[in-house]
């Protein structure tokens, strides 16, 4: 059965610094992987997804993620954090259904 | 505009009462889902439906019920049997089931509080 582990429930960075949010997955078949963002009191919005093909996936708001099969990872990065990036981020994997990680809350300091 | 509409946004329930959360989508999606979100626990699947008049239990279905009489609608009833219903509830939909890599789209959520 598929599952997702997000390392670090809370990440804090300074504005302009690199953002790195970690996600590791387990799946018995080649996975479909997703990153979602959630702002307070709102639903989840898709940032990017990996299905097949290029392992470096670019998403909205300058985020990207790289699928590394050998490391079973799908870490989310952004070169330069902006205050508006402060939110909760969820990694998800789909096999028979979609499974979400516990989430990582990103704080951006001025 | 296309999307998923959840109502109400905020709902208060007295002990022992059943309440129903509405979810409507106009995306022509076949599959619909209900998730529960508690702080620090991510999203947990309550029920999902891949076709009209059919639905399956998720990981935490006890104390909840659903119906899927129309493609566009997937209401969730939180019954008095649910011992700890205070949470944020998210409805979602996708074109097909996620096994094909289909994206799940979410509504804005509903807050349920037991008073």
Of B41, B98, B103, the CB nearest to A97: B98
Q: A10: closest CA among B108, B87, B90, B39? A: B39
Confidence at residue B61, expressed as pLDDT on a 0 to 100 scale: 96
Whole-angstrom distance, CA of residue B112 vs CA of residue B84: 10
**CA B81 → CA A30, B3, B64, B84, distances in Å?**
39, 31, 8, 9
Whole-angstrom distance, CA of residue B29 vs CA of residue A47: 20
Which residues of chain A make contact with B58, given a CB cutoff of 8 A?
A: 97
Confidence at residue B22, expressed as pLDDT on a 0 to 100 scale: 98
Confidence at residue A29, expressed as pLDDT on a 0 to 100 scale: 75
Q: What is the DSSP string of B36-78?
A: EE-TTS-EEEEEEEEETTEEEE-TT-TTEEE--SBTTB--EEE
Confidence at residue B1, expressed as pLDDT on a 0 to 100 scale: 61
Confidence at residue B110, expressed as pLDDT on a 0 to 100 scale: 96
Q: Tens of pLDDT along A68-88?
A: 999 999 999 999 999 999 999
Q: What is the DSSP string of A16-79?
A: TS-EEEEEEEE-SSPPEEEEEEE-TTS-EEEEEEE-SS-SEEE-GGG-EEEEEGGGTEEEEEES
Q: Which stretches of chain A drop beneath a pLDDT of 70?
A: 96
Question: What pairs with residue A8 in β-bridges?
Answer: none
**Are B108 and A43 within 8 A, CB to CB?**
yes
Of B42, B45, B109, the CB nearest to A101: B42
Other Cβ atoms less than 10 A from the Cβ of A55: the count is 12
Confidence at residue B96, expressed as pLDDT on a 0 to 100 scale: 79
Whole-angstrom distance, CA of residue A99 vs CA of residue A105: 18
Please list the pLDDT of chain B residue by residue as tens digits (115 residues).
669 999 999 999 888 899 999 999 999 999 999 999 997 778 999 999 999 999 999 999 999 999 999 999 999 999 988 888 999 999 999 987 666 778 899 999 999 998 8
In angstroms, the separation between the Cα of residue B45 and the nearest Cα of chain A is 8
Confidence at residue B98, expressed as pLDDT on a 0 to 100 scale: 66
Contacts of B1 (CB under 8 A, 6+ apart): none
Confidence at residue B109, expressed as pLDDT on a 0 to 100 scale: 95
Confidence at residue A41, expressed as pLDDT on a 0 to 100 scale: 84
């Amino acid at each position: 059965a598929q599952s997702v582990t997000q390392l670090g429930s809370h990440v804090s960075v300074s504005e302009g610094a690199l953002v790195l949010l970690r996600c590791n997955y387990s799946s018995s078949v080649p996975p479909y992987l997703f990153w979602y963002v959630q702002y307070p009191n709102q639903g989840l919005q898709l940032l990017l997804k990996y299905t097949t093909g290029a392992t470096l996936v670019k998403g909205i708001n300058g985020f990207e993620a790289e699928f590394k099969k050998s490391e079973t990872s799908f870490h989310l990065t952004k070169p330069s954090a902006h205050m508006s990036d402060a939110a909760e981020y969820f990694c998800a994997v789909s096999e028979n259904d979609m499974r979400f990680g516990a989430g990582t809350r990103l704080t951006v300091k001025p | 505009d296309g999307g998923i509409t959840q109502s109400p946004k905020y709902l208060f329930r007295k002990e022992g009462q059943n309440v129903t959360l509405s979810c409507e989508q106009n995306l022509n999606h076949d599959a619909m889902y209900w998730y529960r979100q508690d702080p620090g626990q991510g999203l947990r699947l309550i029920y999902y439906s891949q076709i009209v008049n059919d639905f399956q239990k998720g990981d935490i279905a006890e104390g909840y019920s659903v119906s899927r009489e129309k493609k566009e609608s997937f209401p969730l009833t939180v019954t008095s049997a649910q011992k700890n219903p205070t949470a944020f509830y998210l409805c979602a939909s996708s074109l097909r089931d996620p096994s094909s890599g289909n994206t799940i789209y979410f509504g804005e959520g509903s807050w349920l509080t037991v008073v």
